Amino acid sequence: MLNALDLSLLDEWRNEAYESARLFKEKVKILHDKKLKRKEFKAGDQVLLFNSHFKFSVGKLASKWTGPLVVQEVYRSGAIHLYGDFKGKPPVVNGQRLKHYIAGQTFAGVVEVMDLQSPKAMLAKHYSLPEPKNHKKVISRA
Q: Which residue has the higher pLDDT, 7 or 106?
A: 7
**Helix (H, G, I), strand (E, B), or coil: what is residue 14?**
helix
Rounded distance between C-alpha atoms, residue 121 and residue 19, angstroms: 73
pLDDT tens digit sequence for 29-55: 999 988 877 788 899 889 998 887 656
Asked if residue 91 has a cis previous peptide bond (ω within 30° of 0), the answer is no
pLDDT of residue 50: 87
**Helix (H, G, I), strand (E, B), or coil: what is residue 46?**
strand
Rounded distance between C-alpha atoms, residue 81 and residue 77, angstroms: 12
**Helix (H, G, I), strand (E, B), or coil: what is residue 58?**
coil
Mean pLDDT throughout 7-22?
A: 91
Give the Cβ contact number of residue 71 at 10 Å: 20
Quote the distance between the C-alpha of residue 23 and its chain's center.
31
**Cut 0.85: pTM above it:** no
Cα–Cα distance list, 17 to 14, 25, 44 (Å): 5, 12, 51
Rounded distance between C-alpha atoms, residue 111 and residue 107, angstroms: 10
Is the pLDDT at 107 greater than 80? The verdict is no
Rounded distance between C-alpha atoms, residue 84 and residue 142, angstroms: 73
Residue extents of the structural domains in the chain: 46-100
